[in-house]
């Protein structure tokens, strides 16, 4: 897909995503892979097959780059570290919420934060992955670990609100939580943690695949998102930061008071990189025109901010939940839509285009 770089597409069972692009490149030491798919044996077998098709072996992998702390990107990293002694390369501030080797139930609380979704750029094709599913192998082993999380927004829930707006935190699907709960004894084998051995500071360089890569920190989609830039061959490994047809989820819960502002600043940062001819995203096909794509994502967020502002004008006031249901199609409704709506509302508020008032365990937004 670019000089000296192969794409190993790995299936992922997420609605609206379907695959993650693992990239591979060779040098005198062996192979580097980037974003080696979901945790678990099914995904690892696909990776294994792709690696063989590409003509190398798992034990030839000397480095694994993980662009950010979402499971479809870091999943295979721990396994490769154990199987091949590979370095795990991340941004300096890389952090997984759920450390699978913790071995206690705090891991489950952390798992609630692993949720991940992405939204189609054009509003009528909003695809929402509700979270990350385990490999069927793992999930099937524990199909009876059900629990009821279908309670509505009653007063008791508001009293112990999980989010600043009184809603629920985005969580992975019930099946994943159930599987985690009962898989603890063998979790270590199934999900070795993606512990980084090389944490790259901003602008630090690393030699992989016969070239120098420059670390470009791009907080926004997650606070620890890393792009790698190869100025000589004009390549950008863009992870989930810049995708060709969908925009990454911006969570209102991570990354400080204005995560959308962080994301937009990180967009402008990569758009300003000189001479990027090959943008290699983690989902979708590689593409060429980075500034054009960045401009389209800018427009997407500007349009959504304007729509929110208009809804506030029409409604007089609204909660995050109400406004998220105006902004998103019904199939996308839920904690993740709310979390992104919250990020947009806070962005409007910090730009003095909206105000916020507490009310009975939640917050309502209105025009100033
Ligand atoms: Zn992601
Ligand atoms: Zn992703």
What is the maximum span of the chain, computed from C-alpha positions, in angstroms? 64
Output the CA 312–ligand 1 centroid distance in Å. Answer: 30
Residue ranges of the chain with per-residue pLDDT less than 70: 15, 97-161, 171-191
∠ CA 367-308-246 to the nearest 5 degrees? 155
352 Cα to the center of ligand 2, angstroms: 32
What distance in Å separates the CA atoms of residue 142 and residue 182, rounded to the nearest whole number? Answer: 7
Q: Which ligand is nearest to the CA of 14?
A: 2
Query: What confidence score (pLDDT) does residue 185 get?
Result: 54
CA angle 263, 24, 293 (to 5 degrees): 30
Distance 360 CA to ligand 1 centre (A): 33
Task: Tell me phi and psi for residue 120, to 5 degrees.
Answer: -60, 145
Q: How far is the CA of 278 from the centre of ligand 2 (A)?
A: 19
pLDDT for res 182 = 53
What span, in angstroms and rounded, lies between the C-alpha atoms of 60 and 32? 9
Q: How far is the CA of 267 from the centre of ligand 2 (A)?
A: 16
The answer to whether 108 touches 182, Cβ cutoff 8 Å, is no
Tokens of 50: 């792709």
Q: ∠ CA 30-31-36 to the nearest 5 degrees?
A: 155
pLDDT (0 to 100) of residue 41: 85
CA 356 – ligand 2 centroid, Å? 32
357 alpha carbon to ligand 1 midpoint, in Å?
Answer: 31
259 C-alpha to ligand 2 centroid (Å): 17
Structure tokens at 81: 């570290």
Task: Mention every residue, 6+ apart, whose C-beta is less than 8 A from residue 185.
Answer: none
Give counts: helices (H), strands (E), the chain. 12, 16
pLDDT of residue 24: 98
Among the bound ligands, the one closest to the CA of 12 = 2
Q: How far is the CA of 171 from the centre of ligand 1 (A)?
A: 14
Neighbours of ion ligand 1 (CB under 5 A): 70, 240
Whole-number Å distance, alpha carbon 302 to ligand 2 midpoint, is 23
- Interval between CA 284 and ligand 1 midpoint (Å): 13
- pLDDT at position 166 is 81
Ligand 1 centroid, distance to 156 Cα (angstroms): 32
Q: For residue 290, give the 3-state DSSP assignment.
A: helix
Q: What's the per-residue H, E or C state across 238-281?
A: EECCCCCCEEECCCCCCCCCCHHHHHHHHHHHHHCCCCCCEEEE
CA atoms within 13 A of residue 171's CA, in its CB half-sphere: 19
Distance, CA 72 to ligand 2 centroid (Å)? 6
Q: Which ligand is nearest to the CA of 336?
A: 1
- Cα-only R_g, the chain: 20
């Amino acid at each position: 897909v670019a000089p000296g770089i192969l794409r190993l597409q790995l299936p992922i069972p997420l609605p609206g995503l379907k695959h993650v692009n693992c990239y591979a490149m060779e040098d005198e030491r062996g192979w580097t892979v980037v974003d080696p798919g979901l945790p678990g044996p099914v995904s690892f077998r696909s990776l294994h097959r792709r690696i063989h098709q590409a003509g190398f072996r798992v034990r030839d992998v000397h480095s694994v780059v993980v662009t950010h702390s979402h499971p479809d990107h870091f999943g295979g990293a721990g396994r490769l570290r154990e199987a091949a002694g590979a370095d795990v390369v991340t941004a300096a501030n890389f952090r997984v919420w759920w450390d699978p080797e913790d071995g206690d139930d705090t891991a489950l609380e952390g798992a609630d934060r692993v949720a991940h979704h992405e939204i189609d750029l054009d509003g009528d094709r909003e695809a929402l992955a509700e979270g990350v599913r385990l490999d069927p192998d793992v999930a099937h082993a524990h199909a009876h670990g059900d629990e009821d999380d279908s309670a509505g927004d009653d007063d008791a829930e508001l009293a112990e609100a999980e989010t600043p707006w009184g809603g629920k935190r985005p969580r992975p699907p019930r099946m994943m939580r159930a599987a985690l709960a009962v898989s603890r004894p063998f979790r270590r084998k199934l999900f070795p943690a993606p512990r980084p051995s090389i944490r790259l500071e901003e602008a630090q360089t690393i030699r992989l695949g016969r070239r120098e890569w420059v670390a470009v920190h791009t907080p926004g989609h997650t606070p620890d998102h890393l792009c790698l830039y190869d100025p000589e061959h004009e390549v950008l490994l863009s992870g989930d930061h810049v995708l060709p047809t969908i925009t990454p989820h911006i969570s209102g819960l991570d990354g400080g008071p204005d995560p959308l502002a962080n994301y937009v600043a990180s967009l402008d940062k990569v758009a300003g990189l000189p001479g990027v001819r090959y943008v290699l995203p983690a989902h979708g096909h590689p593409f060429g025109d980075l500034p054009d794509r960045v401009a389209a994502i800018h427009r997407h967020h500007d349009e959504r901010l304007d729509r929110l502002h208009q809804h506030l004008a029409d409604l007089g006031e609204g909660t995050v939940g109400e406004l998220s249901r105006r902004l998103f199609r019904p199939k996308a409704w839920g904690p993740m839509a709310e979390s992104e709506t919250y990020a947009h509302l806070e962005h409007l508020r910090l730009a003095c285009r909206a105000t916020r008032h507490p009310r009975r365990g939640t917050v309502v937004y209105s025009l100033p």
